[in-house]
Amino acid sequence: MEEIKLMKGNEAVAEAAIRAGCDGYFGYPITPQSEVMEYLTAENLEERSGMIILQAESEVAAINMIYGAAGCGKKVMCSSSGPGISLMQEGLSYIAGAELPCLLVNVERGGPGLGTIQPSQSDYFQAVKGGGHGDYKLITLAPASVQEMADFVSLGFDIAFKYRNPVMILSDGAIGQMMEKVKFSKPIPRMVNLPKWAATGKKPGRKKNLITSLYLQPQDMEKHNLKLQNKYREVEKKEVRFEKYLCNDADYLIVAFGTCARVSQKTVQLGREKGLKIGLLRPITLYPFPYNELNNMANSLKGIISVEMNAGQMIEDVKLSVNGKVNVEYYGRMGGMIPTPEEVLEVLENKLIKNG
């Protein structure tokens, strides 16, 4: 039975985690996402699902607790914002290298450095192009509503366990803090049977399980990397998700995710009122990026604009997608500023239509 609640994006993540049968949350406070852990610590978790929650001494400790818990085959997650996610990069590389499932939530804030607590999308590169060392990928989901903040928790866990890879929900401070209606589905119980690969105690009849990312011999290391790459090719084939708004007859396309997609949807409406055929492509998975879809769409477009709350990061993937077929421009705000629908339309008109 569905339940409808009015809550903040951060709270929705927490509630969804309990209902998704999450086994553990290990985190550290940082604005603008501390509500995730606060919500969980306020709930009677022992009664609800028995989920474990622990506030670690740092994000470094938190991600390593996640790494340990994930190695037991458990559904575990944590949330943070840019500076904390930076601290977690080593741990994420280890988790990906050891092929463990887990869920991360980055409620982005302005950076670089200590930055600001206002929202941004400037951790796109960090999430999608690899913030940690080595050849690995973070499967990245970009919610654009409080409902998606909730829905992507169980989706994220499913994908994480399917591919034995960390998954990130790349949100921003606006979505984390805004309040909207959320429909929650019935809770599912926590897993009883743990995966065969998990380190849970070597029962008789099987070899010891070792959770590791260390392959000292180069031949072994390359073999392992090829295995990971094959996995990522599967992810790229099967897990691309996006949403299109008024694209069928569009001459000009906005590509935007998260909060910028919400703003841009209004821009499309404003543009259409003026007689401009604008559409919006909202990538839902940032990795895997909808390269093929965008490449196909480019055949009938006169221009594309990438709208982001950063200095121009996703635009590189947009340009890669279209491979020179059509002009790609950028518009963005930084430092916690959120673009308005009107200013996006003005820039689109200037860059794509007047000068295009």
Partner 1 sequence: MAEYNIDEIIQEKNLVYKKSKIRTDDIMHYCPGCGHSTTTNIIADIIDEMGIQSEIIGVSPVGCSVFIYNYIDIDWHGAAHGRASAVATGIKRMLPDKYVFAYQGDGDLAAIGTAETIHVCNRGENITIIFVNNGIYGMTGGQMAPTTIEKMVTTTCPHGRDIKTMGNPLKITELIADLPGSYYVTRQAVNTPANVRKTKKAIRFAFESQKKKKGTSFIEIVSSCNSNWRMPPVEANKWMEENMFPFYPLGDIKVPKE
Query: Which residues are near partner 1 by CB under 8 A?
Result: 23-24, 26, 52, 54, 56-58, 60-62, 64-72, 74, 76, 90-91, 94, 98, 199-204, 208-214
Could you tell me where the DSSP H helices lie in 72-201?
Answer: 82-87, 89-97, 124-128, 146-163, 173-177
Residue 276 φ/ψ, nearest 5 degrees: -90, 135
The nearest distance, CB 196 to partner 1, in angstroms, is 12
Cβ closest to partner 1, residue 60 vs residue 246: 60
Q: How far apart are CA 66 and CA 69, in angstroms?
A: 5
Nearer to partner 1, 4 or 192 (CB): 192
Q: What are the beta bridge partners of residue 27?
A: 55
Give the nearest distance from C-beta 126 to partner 1 in angstroms.
18
User: With left for phi above 0 and alpha for psi between -120 and 50, is residue 211 left, alpha or beta?
Assistant: beta
Give whichever of 7 and 92 is closer to partner 1, judged by the CB atom. 92
In this complex, which beta carbon is closest to partner 1, that of residue 66 or of residue 175? Answer: 66
Residue 296: partners with Cβ closer than 8 Å, 6 or more residues away: none
Shorter beta-carbon distance to partner 1: residue 71 or 130:
71
Minimum distance between the CB of residue 329 and partner 1, rounded to whole angstroms? 41
We find the least distance from the C-beta atom of residue 38 to partner 1, in angstroms, to be 19
Extended strands (E) in 37-196? 52-55, 76-80, 102-108, 139-141, 166-172, 179-184
Nearer to partner 1, 62 or 107 (CB): 62
Q: How far is the CB of 124 from partner 1 (least distance, A)?
A: 25
DSSP one-letter code for 133: S
Nearest distance in Å: CB 54, partner 1: 6
119 SS3 class: strand
Report helix, strand or coil for 307.
strand
